[in-house]
Structure 1
Amino acid sequence: MDSLRQDLRYAIRTLSRTPGFTLAAGLTLALVIGANTVLFSAIHAMVLRPLPFPAAETLVRIWCEQESVSHASVAPPELLGWREHAQGFSQLAGFGRTNLNRTGTEAPERVRANRVTTNFFSVLGVRPAQGRDFREEDAPSGGDVSVVLVGHGYWQRALGGAPDVVGRTLVLNDRSHTVVGVLPEDFSFPETAEDTDVWIPEWLDPQRHGNHYLSVLGRVAPGTTVEAAQADLKRVAEIVGTPEAGQKRHGIRLTAWQDHLTSNTRDVLWMLWAAVGFVLLIACANVANLMLVRTLSRQRDGAIRAALGASRRRRLQQSLVESVLLSLLGGVMGLVLGLWGMELVRTLLPHALLRVAPLEINFTVLGFSALLSVGTGLLFGLAPALHATGMDVLPMLRQSGSAVGARTGHPLRSGLVMVQLALALVLTVGTGLIVRSLYNVMAVDPGFDASGAVSAQLTLSPDSYRDDARKRAFVQDVAERMKARPGVEAVGFVNDAPLGGSGTDGDFQLEGDTNPSGERRHTAFRVATPDYFAALRIQVRQGRDFGPQDSEKGAPVIIVNEAFVRKYLGGGEALGRRVRLDWDDHQPFRDIVGVVEDVRHESLTRPAAPEAYLPYAQYPLHGLTLVMRGEDSASSALAALREAVKAVDAEQPLYALQPFSERVERVLLRPTGTARLLGAFAALAVLLAGVGVYGVLAYSVGQRTRELGIRLALGAHPLQVLRLVLGQGLRLTALGVGAGLLAALGCTRLMAATLYGVEPFAPDIFLGVAVALGGLSLLACLVPALRASRVSPSVSLRAE
């Protein structure tokens, strides 16, 4: 321990005497250690740390697997059958998101709600902080629910944190509901983008076959593996499944809940962590080169220590203590930078998951940062330390100071530079692929024009708007009021707007089609008013838009998209064909009166699926999105929407008011943030690699000053010296870039799942990055090469 303390004091003195070196190396390490710490904290929170529920590893998500839908919701009879017959689960619960309108207050309020089976919180292992959990009798047959649980945030925000909240009455969708409990402050449900305000018990109708609307969460029974539980549930599905006529039985898809929640995030996080790992290795090589220079300049001092009896182990320890101390300094600065970097990474992660798995600098992250700092110090300090302790002492003692300095650089320095170039090329190629992918996504035609349009959502109360005629009147009145405003181009309503995260689908029949192949006829359904297509500038390719003639008394009609025509009509004539929806037996056959262009409804990277649009007057719904296009600014248009809805029904809350372009921006937020982070890492890697090339050649020129002066004195032309030094640098560059190209060929294949519209091997990106990195290296070589060609022979010859 005494020797360690002595070495620590010596390292502190040594580093303090060279503040420039210490600051440069420390900041380099701070950047890479800080970035690695931030990415580790994200991976630890999202992937490694269990969800904050008791025995979270036993929680699983379950879907129906249908012929053309791999992740379908579950119908109530199926869930009831699974509960009765499945032995691999201790409990199974259903849930579904909805919106409620709260009235009886100063202003109507939209309430974010979840309908859940009465055992839902028991499955999660959550108990109310006040009051009680749901009971079976809280979800009576027929669904006349009169009780609710409220979230802690809603209790504080909307109910004033009243201590006597249990027993209080809330008017939701024009019905009185009694608050029976308040959920804990630390509870948040990660399946919804926003915190849930109110929880309502859901009755499972055993006769509601074919109506798939439930999400299912299960807890695997003690002593049962997830695989065994899935096999058991597949067996049960064969028993209880009741497919509709002509359909195959539903399969089962099951996955660990945490894997499901992080499925869209894990690949991005691992890719970013791999990128900062590359930058860390480049930084280690860079700092190792700096340390090697210091070692070469102090090798006579080391020889004297060895001659005085210092063992190789002691000298090795002394050298490693200095490098580890330097790395720990970088680690401390990296933690400070990491606090800022966490804000950047948060933009890439699902907000719903961040509520239950926040990014934070906890003891685990601190421990990782400390271990990473020590490991980094050992990594970049080991090679210089071994070189320093492995030299031959006697020849060093016989040489004079200048003779020592005349030795050329160690080959290890050149090797480290080649490693930096290779890693920088791999990272830059990967960044180029991601940027090209992002460009391709941004260039996708979504099938609508978001610029100049605004949107808002509303949910008509099922009790106040039981009558379809009242729904139609509300929609028509609001639309007419908005159209009367100057500058308004179009106003339309739709149940599911593009890129909104919601959708409705189902089966249908084509009149006169016997469907000999047995292929399932499945399509997405939208319900829209006239002018909805005009409001988003969705082009009508054939036929017409909905119009006044498509009233509740008019002929049943439908509009389909081009993907529908390609898939189910062979790309042929669509107008006049007749379609019947399989929602119930009372649906009529509907005439196809129009074909509209494809709309990327779910995602910009997912091809448009078959869609069919029904006129709102013939199929009125409660949940709607209002879309308006006009000349007003977004703020003025949204204020006008509020006033129009208030004038028609002052008890109807309007929510999610926003320019429609924000939907597109939200979809692009994660890929844009990923590309920016990778770009920053790649730029840092290239900069470090360029500095490494410059450092090696500058040191080499400094060591060979006398030799180069002699060459010039003997008649060598300065251009010859210039070519000599440039040749040395270009050889390093060629070897490093060549090795990087080979490594990139293998590494980019691992990125295939994260790319869109670009192959992992894109020759133009590979060639462009190689040329750019080679050009940068050439510039780095040029400065020391020019200095070498201008060496004064008289000065160098007068040197010892």
Structure 2
Amino acid sequence: MDSLRQDFRYALRTLRHTPGFTLAAVVTLALAIGANTVLFSAIHAMLLKPLPFREPETLVRLWCEQQDFLHASVSPPELLGWREHGRSFEQLAGFTRRDLSRTGADAAERVRAARVTTNFFQTLGVTPAHGRDFQQEDAQPDNPPSSVVVSHAFWKKALGGASDAVGGTVQLDGRTYTVVGVLPEGFSFPDFGEDVDVWQPHWLNPEAHGNHYMGIVGRMAPGVTLEAATADLERVAQLIARPGAPGDKHHGVTTDLWQRHLTSSSRPVLWALWAAVGFVLLIACANVANLLLVRALARQRDSAIRAALGASRGRRIQQALAESVLLGLVGGLVGLLLVMWGMELVRALLPPSMLRMTPVELSVPALLFSVALSLGAGLLFGLAPALHTSGADVLPLLKQSGSAVGARANHPLRNALVAVQLALALVLLVGTVLMVQTLRNMQAVDPGFDAEGVLHVRLALPDLKYGSLDKQRGFFADYLERLRALPNVEAVGMVNDAPLGGSNTNGDFVLEGAPQDPGRRYVTEFRVASPGYFQALRAALREGRDFDGRDSQKGAPSVIVNEAFVRKFLGGGEALGRRIRVDWSDSQPFRDIVGVVADVRHNRLTEPAQPEVYLPYEQYPVPTMSLLLRTSREPSTLVAAVRQELKAVDAEQPAYDVAPFVDRMDRQVSRPLATARLLAAFAALAVVLAGVGVYGVMAYAVGQRTRELGIRLALGAHPRQVLGLVMRQGLMLTLLGVGVGLLAAFGCMRLLATLLYGVKANEPVVFLGVAAALGLVSLLATWIPALRASRVSPSVSLRAE
């Protein structure tokens, strides 16, 4: 231990006497170690840290597998059948989101609510902090629920955190509910995009066949594997199937471990970025190793003197490693200062629902990882120079003068380290260019509508006040008329599921005149829209007409379809005049196709448009709608007027998700944009480090060959020949690094394949372009010392040692 303390004190003195070297090495390592710590924190929070529920490894998400939909919602009869006949799950719970309005306060406000089966919290292993959980009698078939469990945040904000809140009441959608429990602080359900304020018990209607609206989470029985549980439910699905029943078809079952499903979209991004920062760390280590090797070669005679005085090779290696480990630890300490800034960048890549439950922060595991990485990096970049210099023959070194030691210009270890830097930098550059091209492709996608100048408003009418369809029609008719009268409003329309909002509705339909094959199902996406909706979004009408007064409650049943519907189900032929029936029950009438609208990318910009059928609102009213206002002004300037007009129609009705529609477009590209920015930053750092590495090797080689080059010039060599001699050495180094990098990039780009859009992971043009650009950087770094060598006076060169 005494010798180790002495070595660290000596290393500290040495680093203090070379501030330029120390600063360059510490900054390089700080950037690399800090970036790795940030990515580890995100991976630990998202992928490695268990979900904050009891035995999270047994929690499973389940879906109904339909003909064209692998992850479809589940109907109540299916859930009841899975519970009754399944043997692989201890609990199966259902959930669905809704929005309520809270009355009785100064102004109506939106309340985020969820309806769940009474065993929901028991399935998750969550016990209310105050009061009780739901009981079976809280959900009765004949009466609407009268009890609720509230979140800790809602208890604090809306109920004042009162100790007697349990047993008290709250007004929601005009009904009075009794608060029976308060959930623990920090509880969050990650399948919902927002934290829920109020939880309601939900009764499962055994006759609601074909009504798919629930999400399902289950807890597997002890010792049961996911594969066995899936097979068991597939057996049950066959058992409870009702072939030929109206509105109901046989469905399969899709399952996935809950945590794996929640992180499925973030996992490829995180692993790809961690690979990128890992490359940056390797480049940084190679760069610092090169710097240490230069210092070690210049100090070989000192090492030889120590060996002559009796110092063992292990003792000399320990002394060299003490300096490199000290550099690594200081670099890691400085890197921690950059972590908090880097956390904000990484959070932009992750689902907000998961961040609420498992925040990305500088945790104890992250700190331990940073320390281990600092020590490991110090050993990594210090070991090769230490082993190389400590193994040199002592006697030849002692016979040489101090300035002659280490005079070998073309050192293979230094060349290899620079080639590694070039190869890793090329991999990062290729990934960056592919992600930037993906971002450009996404921004160039035609979504089928114009989001600029549109304001979005979401409304959910309460059942008690607007239980009848006529009341719903009357409310929206009055409100839409007021909105159309606002200054600078060009068009107003509404739809139940607006594009890029994360919600969707699909179902079966019957095409009149088509063969009725019992084994074949026609499935499409359904929208409920009003006149003016397509004008508000500027979605082009290709054929026929828009909805108008002819599509009233008493008018002929009608629909509008999109081009994808025509291509898939009508073979691209004539659509106008054809008729379809929504196959939710035999009582639905056949509806005339009166128009064909352009395709709209509804789910994601990167997904092609699906077949869609638009039902007129007057003929098929629903209580929850999105209103879209196109204005000639900035959309946000309409917010106050929109709320004022809503208050005039119904002061107890809150509006939510009031925002410019272009925000939805921005959210679609936010993750690729953040990924591209991070990769660009890492790639820029890698290119700078690689360029500095090439420059350092060539400058050192030129310095060591000054006497040789002077002799060549004195004997009549032209400066261009000296320039070419040095450039050839740099060219060979560049070709080696770029060649290895191209091979590595072809293998590594598979990590990015799931993140790319409109560009192939092995795009030859990208690979060759990046290779050429990096080669130019490397040759430029070579050209500077080569040019200096060709301009040195022969007399000066001959006097140099």
Same topology, TM > 0.5: yes
The DSSP-based 3-state class of the residue aligned with 1:580 is: strand
1:102-501 aligned at under 5 Å gives the runs 102-242=102-242, 245=245, 249-404=250-405, 406-501=407-502
- The residue type equivalent to 1:345 in the other structure is V
Structure-2 residue corresponding to 1:92: 92
The DSSP-based 3-state class of the residue aligned with 2:613 is: strand
The DSSP-based 3-state class of the residue aligned with 2:464 is: coil
C-alpha deviation, 1:456, in angstroms: 0.8
* Native 8 Å contact 1:209 1:242 kept in 2: no
The DSSP-based 3-state class of the residue aligned with 1:31 is: helix
Q: Deviations over 1:260-280 (max 9, x none)?
A: 110111011001001111111
Identify the range of structure 1 (707-716 vs 491-500) with the bigger mean alpha-carbon deviation. Answer: 707-716
* Native 8 Å contact 1:243 1:250 kept in 2: no
- Number of residue pairs matched? 800
The DSSP-based 3-state class of the residue aligned with 1:349 is: coil
- Return the alpha-carbon distance in structure 1 between the equivalents of residues 627 and 344 of structure 2: 33
- The residue type equivalent to 1:492 in the other structure is G
Structure-2 residue corresponding to 1:584: 585
* Native 8 Å contact 2:169 2:178 kept in 1: yes
- Return the alpha-carbon distance in structure 2 between the equivalents of residues 558 and 268 of structure 1: 41
Q: Deviations over 1:17-50 (max 9, x none)?
A: 1111111101100101111111011011000110
* Native 8 Å contact 1:67 1:248 kept in 2: no
Q: Deviations over 1:649-674 (max 9, x none)?
A: 11110011000000110111111101
The DSSP-based 3-state class of the residue aligned with 1:743 is: helix
Structure-2 residue corresponding to 1:28: 28
* Native 8 Å contact 2:501 2:603 kept in 1: yes
Structure-2 residue corresponding to 1:8: 8
- Sort the Cα spacing of 1:405 and 1:239 in 2 relative to 1 into closer, same or farther, 3 A: closer
- Sort the Cα spacing of 1:243 and 1:663 in 2 relative to 1 into closer, same or farther, 3 A: farther
C-alpha deviation, 1:143, in angstroms: 4.9
The DSSP-based 3-state class of the residue aligned with 1:456 is: strand
- The residue type equivalent to 1:729 in the other structure is G
The DSSP-based 3-state class of the residue aligned with 1:491 is: strand
Structure-1 residue corresponding to 2:638: 637
Identify the range of structure 1 (459-468 vs 740-749) with the bigger mean alpha-carbon deviation. Answer: 740-749
* Native 8 Å contact 2:563 2:599 kept in 1: yes
- The residue type equivalent to 2:145 in the other structure is V
* Native 8 Å contact 1:68 1:520 kept in 2: no
- Return the alpha-carbon distance in structure 2 between the equivalents of residues 534 and 522 of structure 1: 27
1:644-655 aligned at under 5 Å gives the runs 644-655=645-656
- Sort the Cα spacing of 1:468 and 1:248 in 2 relative to 1 into closer, same or farther, 3 A: closer
Identify the range of structure 1 (78-87 vs 688-697) with the bigger mean alpha-carbon deviation. Answer: 78-87
Structure-2 residue corresponding to 1:63: 63
- Sort the Cα spacing of 1:365 and 1:116 in 2 relative to 1 into closer, same or farther, 3 A: same
The DSSP-based 3-state class of the residue aligned with 2:167 is: coil
Q: Deviations over 1:508-544 (max 9, x none)?
A: 0011212449431001100011000000000000000
Identify the range of structure 1 (195-204 vs 67-76) with the bigger mean alpha-carbon deviation. Answer: 67-76
* Native 8 Å contact 2:702 2:785 kept in 1: yes
* Native 8 Å contact 2:272 2:751 kept in 1: no
Identify the range of structure 1 (98-107 vs 450-459) with the bigger mean alpha-carbon deviation. Answer: 98-107
- Return the alpha-carbon distance in structure 1 between the equivalents of residues 618 and 79 of structure 2: 34
C-alpha deviation, 1:117, in angstroms: 0.4
Q: Deviations over 1:141-200 (max 9, x none)?
A: 135100000001111122222221112211111111011111000211111111100000
- Return the alpha-carbon distance in structure 1 between the equivalents of residues 79 and 223 of structure 2: 22
Superposition TM-score, scaled by structure 1 size: 0.98
Instruction: Give me the CA root mean square deviation.
Output: 1.3
C-alpha deviation, 1:244, in angstroms: 5.5
- Return the alpha-carbon distance in structure 2 between the equivalents of residues 497 and 226 of structure 1: 35
* Native 8 Å contact 2:241 2:249 kept in 1: no
Q: Deviations over 1:268-327 (max 9, x none)?
A: 100100111111111111111011011011111111011111001111111111111101
Structure-1 residue corresponding to 2:657: 656
- Sort the Cα spacing of 1:243 and 1:429 in 2 relative to 1 into closer, same or farther, 3 A: farther
Q: Deviations over 1:222-269 (max 9, x none)?
A: 222222222222222221233554875211111110001101110110
C-alpha deviation, 1:422, in angstroms: 0.9
- Sort the Cα spacing of 1:577 and 1:757 in 2 relative to 1 into closer, same or farther, 3 A: same
Identify the range of structure 1 (152-161 vs 284-293) with the bigger mean alpha-carbon deviation. Answer: 152-161
Identify the range of structure 1 (788-797 vs 527-536) with the bigger mean alpha-carbon deviation. Answer: 788-797
C-alpha deviation, 1:749, in angstroms: 3.1
* Native 8 Å contact 2:564 2:599 kept in 1: yes
- The residue type equivalent to 1:223 in the other structure is G
C-alpha deviation, 1:409, in angstroms: 4.3
Structure-2 residue corresponding to 1:76: 76
- Sort the Cα spacing of 1:319 and 1:491 in 2 relative to 1 into closer, same or farther, 3 A: same
C-alpha deviation, 1:560, in angstroms: 0.3
- Sort the Cα spacing of 1:104 and 1:248 in 2 relative to 1 into closer, same or farther, 3 A: closer
- Return the alpha-carbon distance in structure 2 between the equivalents of residues 48 and 402 of structure 1: 54
The DSSP-based 3-state class of the residue aligned with 1:205 is: coil
- Return the alpha-carbon distance in structure 2 between the equivalents of residues 458 and 109 of structure 1: 12
C-alpha deviation, 1:564, in angstroms: 0.4
- The residue type equivalent to 1:545 in the other structure is D
Structure-1 residue corresponding to 2:521: 520
- Return the alpha-carbon distance in structure 2 between the equivalents of residues 307 and 746 of structure 1: 49
C-alpha deviation, 1:547, in angstroms: 0.4
The DSSP-based 3-state class of the residue aligned with 1:617 is: coil
Q: Deviations over 1:452-472 (max 9, x none)?
A: 011010101111111211211
C-alpha deviation, 1:771, in angstroms: 1.1
- The residue type equivalent to 1:632 in the other structure is R
The DSSP-based 3-state class of the residue aligned with 2:577 is: coil
Structure-2 residue corresponding to 1:620: 621
C-alpha deviation, 1:355, in angstroms: 1.1
Identify the range of structure 1 (23-32 vs 156-165) with the bigger mean alpha-carbon deviation. Answer: 156-165
- Return the alpha-carbon distance in structure 2 between the equivalents of residues 342 and 267 of structure 1: 18
- Return the alpha-carbon distance in structure 2 between the equivalents of residues 406 and 256 of structure 1: 61
- Return the alpha-carbon distance in structure 2 between the equivalents of residues 517 and 10 of structure 1: 85
Q: Deviations over 1:81-113 (max 9, x none)?
A: 111121111111000111111112111111101
- The residue type equivalent to 1:154 in the other structure is F
C-alpha deviation, 1:405, in angstroms: 5.0
The DSSP-based 3-state class of the residue aligned with 1:523 is: strand
- Return the alpha-carbon distance in structure 1 between the equivalents of residues 532 and 286 of structure 2: 63
The DSSP-based 3-state class of the residue aligned with 2:629 is: strand
Structure-2 residue corresponding to 1:673: 674
- The residue type equivalent to 1:298 in the other structure is R
Superposition TM-score, scaled by structure 2 size: 0.98
- Return the alpha-carbon distance in structure 2 between the equivalents of residues 735 and 769 of structure 1: 15
Identify the range of structure 1 (77-86 vs 128-137) with the bigger mean alpha-carbon deviation. Answer: 77-86
- Return the alpha-carbon distance in structure 2 between the equivalents of residues 640 and 413 of structure 1: 69
- Return the alpha-carbon distance in structure 2 between the equivalents of residues 462 and 242 of structure 1: 32
* Native 8 Å contact 2:37 2:339 kept in 1: yes
Identify the range of structure 1 (138-147 vs 48-57) with the bigger mean alpha-carbon deviation. Answer: 138-147
The DSSP-based 3-state class of the residue aligned with 1:570 is: coil
Structure-2 residue corresponding to 1:720: 721
The DSSP-based 3-state class of the residue aligned with 2:60 is: strand
Identity %: 66
- The residue type equivalent to 1:780 in the other structure is A
* Native 8 Å contact 2:63 2:254 kept in 1: yes
- Return the alpha-carbon distance in structure 2 between the equivalents of residues 514 and 410 of structure 1: 78
* Native 8 Å contact 2:108 2:653 kept in 1: yes
The DSSP-based 3-state class of the residue aligned with 1:466 is: coil
C-alpha deviation, 1:433, in angstroms: 1.1
* Native 8 Å contact 1:64 1:72 kept in 2: yes
C-alpha deviation, 1:133, in angstroms: 0.5
Q: Deviations over 1:435-466 (max 9, x none)?
A: 11111111111011000011010101111111
